[in-house]
Amino acid sequence: MNKTVLFASALLGLAAAVSPVSAQTYPNKPIRWLVPTGAGSALDVVARRVAPKLGEALGEPVIVENKPGGNSVVAAREAARAAPDGYTLYQGVINNAINDVLTPDPCCLLNDKLLPVTRLISTSLVMVVHPSVPANSVKEYVALAKSRPNALTYASGGPGSITEMIGELLKYTTAIQVREIPYKAIGAEYPDLTGGHVETAFLAPVVIRDAVAAGKLRALAVADSQRVNILPGVPTMAEAGFTGVEGVGWNGIFVPAGTPASIVQRLHKEIAAILQGKEMKDDSANLGYRLGGESPEEFAAFVRSEEQKWNKVIRDANIKVE
């Protein structure tokens, strides 16, 4: 056997020996965590809580990168096009699931081009009105809206946002006419809401808690199946007499399709452990959100159920992107 053949054989043997070890030693370089909203947003805050702890658990830094735009599509596209090697994580949101049925983009469909790892948190949304609105309950609000068609307004985060979906679901369910005022993002309406320029909104409990306590806003109902611990006196929509008017903001980690199952399982294990830590549990209690940590399979089923739910709402309420 000549030297060339011996050298080639040695290289093949070395490659065979190294390949499995490389998979076992993931990660061996920094990991990117793509956030589809800007710095300081609620999603960004969650990312910057979890990412450093994930980096400690994995032994490599996890770097948060904000990629806002396109109702979360900009970041989703970048994540879907990344190498499926576990070094790009995408913090997907409810808006991505809504996009998949309202304006589907084949590049970055959840459960297809982007595979679920685990849910991070879910946030109930609270229906609030400016104090100038003469309604102390959802029933009074609906009666007012019926007596004054298109006089009341509600704020949304723009086409395809979860707040638009809830607003339109309420209108469809109750046969009321309320004008939508779209904003560039969920939460951007807050100054106009407290100023009385827009009268109704659906916002996270922590965002409106102080304003409600100060009498600057009035909370009518929680658009969820359970009350919120930091607003215990606010009824659910079902308790207010409007079963089915529910919509929860959620986010979770996804990776590009083709990412090895062993890496997905490792990421799930470490993130789930972080979510069960004292700091995250304390945050959950203080800020009024619910922690995730489900298995990839459970999270995938949850995403499918959300897409089916909002697809029906979009059809029934005839929601279109203008």
For 142-278, where are the E strands, in sequence order? Answer: 153-156, 179-182, 200-203, 218-222, 248-256
Give the sign of the dihedral formed by CA 178, CA 207, CA 69, CA 198. positive
Same CATH fold, 126-222 and 30-122+248-316? yes
Q: What is the pLDDT of residue 14?
A: 37
The reported pLDDT for the residue numbered 23 is 53
Name the CATH superfamily for 126-222.
Periplasmic binding protein-like II (3.40.190.10)
pLDDT tens digit at each of 322 positions of the chain: 444 444 334 333 433 333 343 457 899 999 999 999 888 888 898 999 999 999 999 999 999 999 988 878 899 999 999 999 999 999 999 999 999 999 998 999 999 999 999 999 999 999 999 999 999 999 999 999 999 999 999 999 888 889 999 999 999 999 999 999 999 877 789 999 999 999 999 999 988 999 999 999 999 999 999 999 999 999 999 999 999 999 999 999 999 999 999 999 999 999 999 999 999 999 999 999 999 999 999 999 999 999 999 999 999 888 887 6
Longest distance between any two alpha carbons in the chain, whole Å: 95
CATH class, 30-122+248-316 region? alpha beta
- pTM here is 0.86
Single-letter code of the amino acid located at 13: G
Q: Domain extents for the chain?
A: 30-122+248-316, 126-222
In this predicted structure, what is the pLDDT of residue 9?
41
Q: CB neighbours (10 Å) of residue 173?
A: 17
